[in-house]
């Protein structure tokens, strides 16, 4: 599974362990961010995603292992000038306007965009004169995104960037992320939305209970999972199908029967035998969401 | 839009060093936006700015005015007492509460992750406290003719200068408390120390002998000694 480990990497966690009191947040994590990639870090709540990002930004120190950012310690202000950040929980001065917040952040960087250009790039120009405190949750995330990119970073850390965005704004942000990667920067993104990782990520790292339980391309992660999705239009009763060997779950919507199974061939044979009128048979490999669920369940056993 | 984003990211900065001018600009921006925030929250600023001069007029003019006319030293005592009081508040409350709140709300964490020059945050808040001390001292000096107090220009300028610097120890106390408290406990903790200092440093009234031995523990005592 391991995706290519060659090539330059911008940030690295190496054998990192981190506890908070009795809680083990990270337990021997190795993670590299390569130049020009979008790495999605996925995992259930409390898996250690935010801790991993905090370590890479120098906000926390590892108990064991080492952390490097552009080959240096993340505590060095110089390397942080190459980094843009969007955090999950942050409350910014409500009385400052969006333009002013962005302008303040640009002042920290050696060769930033202007606030106007950053707003134009992130489609937030219309928010520029609004006091930050009057924005909706989604608009606040958009403003924070503009603050993350305004320093022209080589590496962007985005912790749950699209939480609170409506569908249109999310798609817009996805496009911006694709353009940023296409232009040569790297992105580390945590997300609850698996379809976000599926749509954007060059590589996916799945964290569970402080460990990296899988890492690779979206295809590779999906390939780790033997489950398949079988759908068809059939009169076979859902209750019967649930009892068949290999079937993990089954449900029916208006006219479709959907079955998740670890043995698609056996299921299909039996379905065809049970229903001569069966139509529109479809067999799919598990998506990232199913793979993710199975991987994290296995890891917590 | 694509043209803009292309120019945005294709040429990331080759160097991570900040020219001196850019560093200075970061300090200035931090101070400027701190000031703008203050101007837009007059409900915080006005009480701290207006209270010292109002209390000085109440005590130094209305209540004790006739007595002071006979004893100029008493007038000076009341004047310096309220000027110290005016310098204490913005440093302790401004710094203490802001640091506690901004630390809790994740703003300090974000600023630590960003390449903000670390001292810029502190300096902006120190400048703000000094600015408050300036306004407080200036308005009080303007009110001295009402209180039968004659200050020479040299004395007035000296007073302003001392009070500007004099705000620093109170900033330090506020900063310390802000790093140890939460946004909910900060007002209470700052207030306890503020009240104790006001009354035990002897800036408002002569203390009994026993208490006088501990008043040098408070920075307010020393500031009054200097400005008196």
Q: For an interface test with A, which of B13, B19, B99 has the most A Cβ atoms less than 10 Å from its Cβ?
A: B13
How many Å apart are CA A183 and CA A38, to the nearest integer? 12
Chain A nearest CA to B21, separation (Å): 10
Nearest 5°: phi and psi at A59? -80, -20
B206 at interface of A, judged by CB pairs closer than 8 A: no
Query: CA-nearest residue of chain B to A179?
Result: B5
Model confidence at A3, pLDDT cuts 50, 70, 90, reads very low
Encoding tokens for residue A218?
A: 């979206």
pLDDT in tens, A270-284: 999 988 888 899 998
- pLDDT, one tens digit per residue, over B111-165 is 999 999 989 999 999 999 999 999 999 999 999 888 888 888 998 999 999 999 9
- In whole angstroms, give the CA distance from residue A94 to residue A133: 4
State residue B15's pLDDT score: 57
**B5 neighbourhood in chain A, CB within 8 Å:** 121, 176, 179-180, 183
What mean pLDDT comes out for the span A45-54? Answer: 91
The string of pLDDT tens digits covering residues B197-220 is 988 888 888 888 888 888 888 888
**Residues shown for chain B:** 228
In this predicted structure, what is the pLDDT of residue B4? 39
Place of tokens 């929250």: B41
- What is the residue whose two structure tokens read 């837009």? B40
Query: In this predicted model, what pLDDT tens digit does every residue of A132-141 receive, in sequence order?
Result: 999 999 999 9
Half-sphere exposure of B219 (CA within 13 A, CB side): 20
**B40: contact with A, CB 8 A cutoff:** yes
Burial class, B105, CB count within 10 angstroms (exposed 0-12 / middle 13-18 / buried 19+): middle
Predicted confidence at residue B8, as pLDDT, reads 38
Query: What confidence category does residue B13 fall into, taking pLDDT thresholds of 50, 70 and 90?
Result: very low
- Closest-CA distance, B29 to chain A, in angstroms, reads 6
Residues of B in contact with A82 (CB under 8 A): 12-13, 16
What are the two backbone dihedrals, phi and then psi, of residue A15, each rounded to the nearest 5 degrees? 55, 40
State the pTM of this model.
0.82
Q: Looking at the complex, report in whole angstroms how far the Cα of residue A280 sits from the nearest Cα belonging to chain B.
A: 42
CB A159 within 8 A of CB A137: no
- What is the tens place of the pLDDT at every residue in A78-119? 899 999 999 988 999 999 999 999 999 999 999 999 999 999
What proportion of chain A, given as a percentage, has pLDDT over 90? Answer: 63
For B4, the closest of A90, A96, A121 (CB atoms) is A121
- If one compares A215 and A286, the residue with the highest pLDDT of the two is A215
d(CA A165, CA A142): 8
Q: Which residue of B has its CA nearest to A132?
A: B37
Q: What pLDDT is stored for residue A260 in this prediction? A: 87
- Please give the pLDDT value at position B11: 40
Those residues with Cβ within 8 angstroms of residue A141's Cβ, 6 or more apart along the chain or in another chain: A86, A161, A162, A163, A164, A165
Confidence of residue A19 (pLDDT cuts 50, 70, 90): very high
Weakest mean pLDDT among A3-7, A105-109, A167-171, B127-131: A3-7
With a cut of 90, say whether residue A201 has pLDDT above it. yes
Tokens representing B177 are: 């408390």
pLDDT tens figures, B46-88: 999 999 999 999 988 888 888 888 888 888 888 999 999 999 9
Helix, strand, coil content of chain A in percent (nearest 5): 35, 30, 35
Mean pLDDT across B25-40? 94
How much is the CA Rg of chain A, to the nearest whole Å?
22
For residue B181, give Cα distances in angstroms to B103, B123, B187. Answer: 10, 21, 9
Q: Are B178 and B186 in contact (CB under 8 A)?
A: yes
| pLDDT given for residue A4 in this prediction | 42
Compute the distance between CA of residue B132 and CA of residue B46 in angstroms, rounded to an integer: 10
Average pLDDT over residues B17-27: 90
Judging contacts by C-beta atoms under 8 Å, the chain B residues touching residue A121 are 1, 4-5, 8
């Amino acid at each position: 599974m391991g995706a290519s480990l060659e090539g330059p990497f911008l940030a690295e966690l190496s054998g990192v362990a981190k506890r908070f009191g009795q809680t083990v947040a990270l337990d021997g994590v190795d993670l590299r961010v390569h130049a020009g990639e979008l790495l999605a870090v996925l995992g259930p709540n409390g898996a250690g995603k935010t801790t991993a990002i905090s370590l890479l930004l120098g906000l926390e120190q590892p108990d064991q292992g080492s952390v490097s950012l552009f080959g240096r310690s993340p505590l060095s202000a110089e390397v942080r000038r190459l980094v843009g950040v969007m955090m999950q929980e942050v409350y910014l001065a409500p009385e400052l306007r969006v333009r002013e917040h962005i302008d303040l952040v640009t002042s920290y960087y050696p060769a930033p965009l202007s606030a106007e250009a950053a707003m134009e790039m992130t489609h937030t120009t219309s928010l520029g004169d609004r006091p930050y405190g009057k924005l909706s949750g989604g608009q606040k995330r958009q403003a924070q995104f503009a603050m993350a990119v305004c320093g022209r970073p080589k590496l962007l850390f985005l912790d749950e960037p699209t939480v609170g965005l409506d569908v249109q704004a999310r798609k817009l942000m996805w496009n911006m992320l694709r353009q940023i990667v296409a232009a040569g920067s790297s992105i580390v993104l945590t997300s609850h939305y698996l379809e976000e990782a599926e749509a954007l990520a060059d590589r996916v790292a799945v964290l569970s209970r402080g460990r990296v339980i899988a890492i690779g391309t979206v295809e590779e992660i999906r390939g780790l999972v033997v489950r398949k999705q079988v759908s068809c239009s059939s009169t076979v009763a859902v209750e019967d199908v649930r009892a068949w060997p290999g079937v993990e779950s089954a449900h029916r919507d208006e006219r479709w029967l959907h079955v998740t199974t670890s043995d698609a061939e056996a299921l299909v044979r039996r379905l065809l035998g049970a229903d001569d009128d069966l139509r529109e048979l479809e067999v799919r490999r598990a998506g990232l969401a199913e793979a993710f669920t199975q991987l994290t369940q296995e890891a917590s056993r | 839009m694509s043209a803009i984003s292309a120019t945005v990211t294709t040429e990331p900065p080759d160097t991570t060093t900040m020219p001196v001018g850019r560093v200075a600009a970061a300090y200035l921006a931090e101070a400027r936006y701190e000031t703008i925030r203050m101007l837009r929250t007059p409900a915080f600023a006005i009480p701290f700015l207006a209270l010292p001069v109002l209390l000085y007029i109440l005590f130094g003019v209305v209540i004790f005015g006739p007595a002071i006319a006979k004893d100029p030293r008493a007038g000076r005592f009341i004047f310096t007492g309220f000027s110290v009081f005016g310098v204490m508040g913005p440093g302790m409350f401004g710094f203490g509460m802001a640091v506690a709140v901004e630390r809790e709300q994740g703003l300090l964490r974000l600023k630590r992750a960003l390449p903000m020059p670390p001292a810029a945050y502190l300096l902006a808040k120190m400048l703000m406290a000094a600015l408050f001390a300036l306004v407080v001292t200036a308005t009080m000096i303007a009110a001295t003719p009402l209180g039968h107090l004659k200050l020479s220009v040299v004395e007035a300028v000296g007073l302003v200068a001392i009070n500007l610097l004099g705000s620093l120890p109170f900033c330090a106390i506020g900063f310390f408390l802000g790093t140890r408290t939460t946004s909910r406990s900060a007002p209470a903790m700052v207030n306890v120390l503020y009240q104790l200092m006001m009354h035990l440093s002897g800036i408002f009234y002569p203390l009994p002998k026993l208490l006088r031995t501990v008043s040098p523990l408070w920075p307010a005592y020393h500031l009054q000694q200097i400005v008196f």
